[in-house]
């Protein structure tokens, strides 16, 4: 009876080991395919840019002037190849500072397609949505400005930042600290070329 049980147990372990190996092989194959696709896209972009100054200008216009939709790229990649960030749950960046606090403000008024919020002094601003930083710039009206696009194509612009903790093309988690403001925060919500009201997001 024991011999029969031991034989069954060995067969079961062998089957489990084979299944685990198949899962590992499948996972590694997917990672290799994803890596190759990224390399091909990167090399194709380099070749395109090197062809002529005109191509370089087109590439710069599309990528740096924000007409390139990161949301569409993310969704296409995710649909056909799975998560674009396969290791994000395994290798977490513990250096990222995340806050669960909502944006608190005493007053809000509409201004230039967006809203100016009166917030406390030295107010720490966190990201309302997860997404990619598609714009980072400075101007006289709103000081430091960053724009984050989420996977659904929503662009949220954060302005009046004294300090900025993120860089262009960083992937930002919801609640991640973006920077500090000094009594005023500018927010603008935009999707598909339309400016949206703040009520849904604050």
Two structure tokens written together for 161: 């930042």
Query: The pTM is what?
Result: 0.63
Residue 184 near residue 103, CB atoms below 8 Å: no
pLDDT in tens, 36-56: 877 887 788 778 878 888 887
Helix 53-64 to helix 2-51 angle (10° resolution) is 120
Looking at residue 14, its pLDDT comes to 64
Using pLDDT thresholds of 50, 70 and 90, give the confidence band for residue 87: very low
Q: Which residue has the higher pLDDT, 181 or 66?
A: 181
- Environment class of 175 (CB within 10 Å of its CB; exposed 0-12, middle 13-18, buried 19+): middle
């Amino acid at each position: 009876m024991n011999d029969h049980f031991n034989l069954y147990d060995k067969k079961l372990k062998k089957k489990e080991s084979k299944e685990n190996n198949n899962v590992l092989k499948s996972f590694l194959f997917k990672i290799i395919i994803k890596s190759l696709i990224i390399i091909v896209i990167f090399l194709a972009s380099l070749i395109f840019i090197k062809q002529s100054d005109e191509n370089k200008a087109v590439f710069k216009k599309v990528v740096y002037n924000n007409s390139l939709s990161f949301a569409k790229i993310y969704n296409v990649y995710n649909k056909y190849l799975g998560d674009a960030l396969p290791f994000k749950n395994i290798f977490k960046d513990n250096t990222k500072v995340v806050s669960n606090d909502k944006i608190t403000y005493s007053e809000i008024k509409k201004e230039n397609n967006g809203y100016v919020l009166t917030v406390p002094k030295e107010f720490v601003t966190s990201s309302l949505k997860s997404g990619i930083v598609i714009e980072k710039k400075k101007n006289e009206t709103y000081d430091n400005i960053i724009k984050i696009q989420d996977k659904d194509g929503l662009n949220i612009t954060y302005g009046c930042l004294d300090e900025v903790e993120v860089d262009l093309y960083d992937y930002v988690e919801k609640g991640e600290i973006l920077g500090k403001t000094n009594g005023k925060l500018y927010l603008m919500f935009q999707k598909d070329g339309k400016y949206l009201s703040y009520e849904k997001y604050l």
